[in-house]
Amino acid sequence: MSSQPPPVQTASDAPASAALLARAAQVIPGGVNSPVRAFRAVGGTPRFMASGSGPWLTDADGKRYVDLICSWGPMILGHAHPDVLAAVTEAAAHGFSFGTPSENEVRLAEEIVSRVEPVEQVRLVNSGTEATMSAIRLARGFTGRDVIVKFAGCYHGHVDALLASAGSGVATFALPDSAGVPRSSAGETIVLPYNDLPALEAAFAERGHEIAAVITEAAAGNMGVVPPAPGFTEGLLRITKAHGALLVSDEVMTGFRCSASGFYGLEGPYTAGAPDLFTFGKVMGGGFPTAAFGGRADVMALLAPQGPVYQAGTLSGNPVASAAGLATLQGCTPAVYERLEVVSRAIADGVAGELSAASAPHTIQWAGSMFSVFFRDGAVTSYDDAKDQDTGAFRRFFHSMLSQGVHLPPSAFESWFVSASHDDEAVDHVLAALPAAARAAATPD
């Protein structure tokens, strides 16, 4: 069998997707509505999906793929899960949006509060970006301070003040900052190395009286999966509390996926207390555009209409999206989390075995069932470590898997996601594709 890597997938491999991309490019910048979808990091033609069922996606050309993106996390039960579909259908039959309160949003909020012990109240919003933006505004309003601390490689949505040294799509394009972000916004953000408590202590020693909050991904997933080092979260809590600042734990990606109560359920409770605010998204929406932020009741009390910090949204708490989220969370049983563990370990072990056999450097890291494959030797503890990998090897690996009907995240700086619907057929399909992909990764262009 040839050891040559497969060529990058071109328009001829996916003519219907190529035609859709050409149409899209006329009316949508870059032809996509989120940059990483454009395949710029890996080359080739992005696949336009026509349907999803369980662990499978079918593209516009009729080709099927085992899905290891899972809509970047929300499809924890699989695509078009019957219980979620039934809940959405029932809710939609009663009306799509009211512009008034409805019971579904109350039920979803109650479910979130019941799962994450430090969260006493939540406010529903429409996206993870909106959740982090609102949490930052609330932290500033509560403390009366302006400066925010974030960590390089952690991505918290496309909020002006939080785009400095972000990971994920921004890392893919090697843009440490975004054009269009005012100097005044960036100037209110301190960016520090992830997992570096001495750097945080130094920042607070110098500017602690100005710092409103530290925001961190509960476990980083946007530079690839980089969990907090032992004691890092405890240190964040200790330092922020000592200086009267808030800690915002971003669980948009990890929330309700790493466990029934997110990464907090794996790592907490903490001896130093608990984060003051949390942000949620992804799984809590079941594939619909909804998100939330929440935390201590005394902090949340500052939100309008109860307090002076304004935040609003016409579609916040949308009854259909809330129904999808509630059905998804209620479907996340212990058996679901057990299946996620079995599937993710089987796939990751298979990847490690085949990459080792092909002598391709690699490291696999975890946060619950979320995992990333870094094409390098040695642990990844920071954004600099994550960038120090062979992205060419990933590109070759990606296209080999794609050609064999396995759709990975199209960036080396992402988590892989599985669902409880990934049955033995889907797992076996992935495992069968790995030997050729590993040889491709190990063969330079």
The residues, ordered by sequence, that sit 6+ positions from 333 with a Cβ below 8 Å of its Cβ are none
Give kind and range of the element (H or E) at residue 149. strand 147-151
423 among known catalytic residues: no
Alpha-carbon distance of 304 to 263, in angstroms, equals: 29
Question: Up-side HSE of residue 320: CA atoms within 13 Å toward CB?
Answer: 16
C-alpha distance across the termini of the chain, in Å: 18
Active site residue 155: yes
Kindly tell me the sign of the dihedral angle through the C-alpha atoms of 216, 222, 226, 227: positive
Distance CA 327, CA 129 (A): 23
Q: Choose, from 63, 150, 282, 387, the residue flagged as catalytic.
A: 282
**Measured distance CA(240)–CA(335) in Å, rounded:** 37
Residue 309 to residue 151: CA distance in whole angstroms: 25
- Residues, the chain: 445
Rounded Cα distance between 115 and 262, Å, is 9
445 carries an active-site annotation: no
Torsion (CA) 426, 291, 218, 334 in degrees, nearest 10: -50
CA distances from 279 to 97, 171, 303 (A): 23, 22, 15
Catalytic one of 65, 155, 194, 383? 155
DSSP state of 8: P
d(CA 435, CA 184): 50
In sequence order, what DSSP letters do the residues of 29-74 get, joined into one string?
A: GGG-SSGGGG-TTT-SPPPPEEEEEBTEEEETTS-EEEESSGGGTT
Q: Please, what's the b/e burial string for 172-193 (b: 16 or more CB within 10 A of its CB; e: otherwise)?
A: beeeeeeeebeeebbebbbbbb
Strand 277-280 and strand 211-217: the pairing is unpaired
- 225 Cβ contact list (under 8 Å, min separation 6): 219, 365, 366, 367, 370, 371, 372, 415
Q: Which of 250, 276, 385, 390 is catalytic?
A: 250
> Is 434 in contact with 351 (CB distance < 8 Å)?
yes
Instruction: State how far the Cα of 445 lies from the Cα of 157, in Å rounded to an integer.
Output: 34
In sign, the C-alpha dihedral spanning 86, 52, 365, 235 is negative
Residue 28: which residues within 8 A CB-CB, separation 6 or more?
Answer: none
Catalytic residues: 155, 250, 282
